[in-house]
Amino acid sequence: MSLAAQFAPHLGYNPNNPLLNMEKEEQNAKFTEIIQLLLAAGYFRARINTLSEFDRVIGGLAWGLAVSASDVDVDVINISEKITRALQRLKCPHPLEPHQIQGLNFIYIFPVIQWLVKRVIAARAELGDSARALSTYTFDKHLTLPDTLEFPLRRLYRAPPSKLGAERPGARRRPVAAGAESTVLDTAALHQQVNMTLLEFGHRQLMLFGGLAGLTPGQDARGTRADVSKEEATAAEQEQRRRVEALMEQMHQLDGDALSAGTDAALIKDILMSGDAAKISALSADYSRAHEALAMALEQQLSSSGVQAFRREKGHLERQIANAEARAGQTGQEAAAVAEVFEAQGAQATRAQRYGARLIRETKKLDGLVTEENAPLLARLEDLLSQVDALEGNEARLREDCIKQLNDIKQENLELEAAINDAEAHDEMALAVEEQHAAEWAKLQRARRQLARKNRAIALIRRKLDDIPSRPELAQYQARFLELHAQVTSKLTETRQYYALFNALEEQRVHLQNELDLLNNVHSTFERARQASRSVQDSWLESVREKLEIAQKVDARARANLDALRSKRDVLHTRYMQLIDLQREYDSTVIAFQEACRRNEELQQAAS
């Protein structure tokens, strides 16, 4: 065994090192969190325990990149590099190197998986919106909701037979796009099949049309008029039942008609292509009868539940009518009040118009009296009149100001008289107030001094309390000291290992150097001793034997030291295993104690 192999457990390669065990536990915890994230995101292949950890993590990364709409070339050899490049293209905020993936460093892989799962959820939401929009588009392309179906059904199923049968002679034909007619017929056939299927399962209310097929032009979108009577509702119910029975009979006839469907379609095409007017008229009559039968069948959606809906709608409309009548009465009253105001305003406007007309007439008369001689006089008169009007306005404003000032002076006079009368009483009250103010001020100063003393005492106590660390701070300090102790211990152990390795290698170098010097000495003196006399050879052999004995003694001493170190290592390992067993026993005892405490609390709660 080489010296490096013998000292390997002391050079940081001990599998029982607590630091390595701690890191391994952290790696296992991160791996468990990664698997939970992948399962929550929808990657259920991570649940297979027979796969290796590398396959499960790499498969989750590749799946997340694929779901996030990123193109990944999954190659077994370069998969780590390609995943790293794909993450860089996605602008992943957490750096990840290929060797970290290959080495299964879950501590660095976990934040990448966490970020990637968020991207997967966002991409899934976007794809879900796209799929929902596509399904809505497909539904709107082939089907129609009940609230948008009223007008086309009314136009299709309430059209007179003359418009659905033969065309008028000489009528212009409008070009129809290819497939439009077949789309309408296919939609009608689809609706009929849905209604028949619902009737087979006992649903008498036609779910697809929602009561719109049998509307009359006078009805609204909810299928009722405001003035529908009870007799009409009963008759409509009976008519609906009769049409449902007719539709069910038509369902029984469909099995026999299915065989001749292709032949009838071909026959209709031949008749239309032949141009025979009699056959086309007969075909139009048959089509009209079939259309009427289909329209009657489609009007059967109101059964017992339909009548109840009809009655509820009728009651709702009656309440709306009553509310509308009440609002109409209120609006009528408001309109009458507005009309009265309007009449008063109209009378006032009429009087103003009459006064304006009279002023215009008087002005025209005055304009007729104006001549070149009296024009300056009239201009002067107009200026004087405007000045008189201005003076009258100023006089009115001055009079108002004088009255206001007079009232203010009277009020001030009254206040001064009241103040003079109350001056003596006020002086006595002022003296009492000053005395009370002085007493209260002294009390306030005493309270302030007492408050200052209390504040100083509180500040002193607060500083003392701040000097004492709290329990979380102590726990934090303890954790930091433990981390520092672990770091220092690890560094010290590493330094000691380096020193031990250096000393061992230095000792090995010295031994090898001595051995090399000895061999060189033997080799250099061997030729001279071989050529010398017998006595010289004997002395040379004696010196070689002495050197060999010295080397054997050194080797024996080194082996004794090695055996001592091995025995010391075995003793320490035995002590370490005993401590591990003691720690396990301590952990199990703590768990049992916690369980006993929990049961004790439960028993106390049950007893209380």
**Which amino acid is present at 393?**
G
User: What is the distance between the alpha carbons of residues 425 and 434, in angstroms, rounded to a whole number?
Assistant: 14
Q: Helices marked H in 258-303 — which ranges?
A: 261-274, 277-298
pLDDT mean over 13-32: 67
| Residue 5 confidence (pLDDT) above 50 | no
User: What is the distance between the alpha carbons of residues 99 and 88, in angstroms, rounded to a whole number?
Assistant: 16
Q: How confident is the model at residue 570 (pLDDT cuts 50, 70, 90)?
A: very high
Q: How far is CA 80 from CA 34, 55, 74, 85, 107, in A?
A: 17, 11, 9, 9, 16
| Residue 563 confidence (pLDDT) above 90 | yes
pLDDT digits (tens, 9 = 90+) for 225-266: 444 456 666 776 677 667 656 655 655 554 444 434 444 544
- Whether 554 and 511 have beta carbons less than 8 Å apart is answered as yes
What's the half-sphere exposure (Cβ side, CA atoms, 13 Å) at 386? Answer: 6
CB atoms closer than 10 angstroms to residue 241: 15
pLDDT mean over 201-215: 43
User: What is the distance between the alpha carbons of residues 607 and 604, in angstroms, rounded to a whole number?
Assistant: 5
Quick one: the chain helix, strand, coil %, rounded to 5? 80, 0, 20
Could you tell me which residues come within 8 angstroms of residue 285 by beta carbon, excluding any fewer than 6 positions away?
165
- Tell me, letter by letter, the H, E, C secondary structure of 434-479: HHHHHHHHHHHHHHHHHHHHHHHHHHHHHHHHHHCCCHHHHHHHHH
Whether pTM > 0.85 for this model: the answer is: no
CB atoms closer than 10 angstroms to residue 68: 19
Which two three-digit tokens encode residue 46? 């991570």
User: What is the distance between the alpha carbons of residues 270 and 310, in angstroms, rounded to a whole number?
Assistant: 46
User: What is the distance between the alpha carbons of residues 224 and 228, in angstroms, rounded to a whole number?
Assistant: 7
pLDDT mean over 374-387: 79
User: What is the distance between the alpha carbons of residues 605 and 39, in angstroms, rounded to a whole number?
Assistant: 39
User: What is the distance between the alpha carbons of residues 324 and 336, in angstroms, rounded to a whole number?
Assistant: 18
Helix-helix angle 150-157:277-298, to 10 degrees: 140
pLDDT digits (tens, 9 = 90+) for 449-473: 999 999 999 999 988 888 888 888 8
Going through 126-170 in order, the beta strands assigned E by DSSP cover none
Label residue 256 exposed, middle or buried (CB < 10 Å: 0-12, 13-18, 19+): exposed
- Whether 54 and 106 have beta carbons less than 8 Å apart is answered as no
Could you tell me which residues come within 8 angstroms of residue 98 by beta carbon, excluding any fewer than 6 positions away?
80, 81, 83, 84
User: What is the distance between the alpha carbons of residues 591 and 608, in angstroms, rounded to a whole number?
Assistant: 26
| Residue 377 confidence (pLDDT) above 70 | yes
pLDDT digits (tens, 9 = 90+) for 297-306: 555 544 444 5
- Whether 69 and 123 have beta carbons less than 8 Å apart is answered as yes
Label residue 146 exposed, middle or buried (CB < 10 Å: 0-12, 13-18, 19+): middle
User: What is the distance between the alpha carbons of residues 318 and 305, in angstroms, rounded to a whole number?
Assistant: 20
Which two three-digit tokens encode residue 74? 């999954």
